[in-house]
Amino acid sequence: MQTVSAHGAEIPALGFGVFRMSGEEVERVVPAALEAGFRHFDTAQIYNNEADLGRALEKAGAKRDELFITTKIWVDNYAPARFAVSLEESLDKLRMDYVDLLLLHWPNDKVPFTDQIAGLDAARAAGKTRHIGISNFTIAMMEESIRLAKTPIVTNQIEVHPYLDQRAVAEAAKAAGVAVTAYYGMADGAVPRDPVLQKIGAKHGKTAAQVGLRWLVQQGFIALSKTAKPERAAENIAISDFTLSHEDMAAIAKLGRPNGRLVSPPGLAPAWDA
SS (H, E, C) the chain: CCEEEECCEEEECEEEECCCCCHHHHHHHHHHHHHHCCCEEECCHHHCCHHHHHHHHHHCCCCHHHCEEEEEECHHHCCHHHHHHHHHHHHHHHCCCCEEEEEECCCCCCCCHHHHHHHHHHHHHCCCEEEEEEECCCHHHHHHHHHHCCCCEEEEEEECECCECCHHHHHHHHHCCCEEEEECCCHHHHHHHCHHHHHHHHHHCCCHHHHHHHHHHHCCCEEEECCCCHHHHHHHHCCCCCCCCHHHHHHHHCCCCCCCCCCCCCCCCCCCCC
Catalytic residue among 47, 163, 183, 184: 47
> Catalytic: 47?
yes
Q: Which residues are catalytic?
A: 47
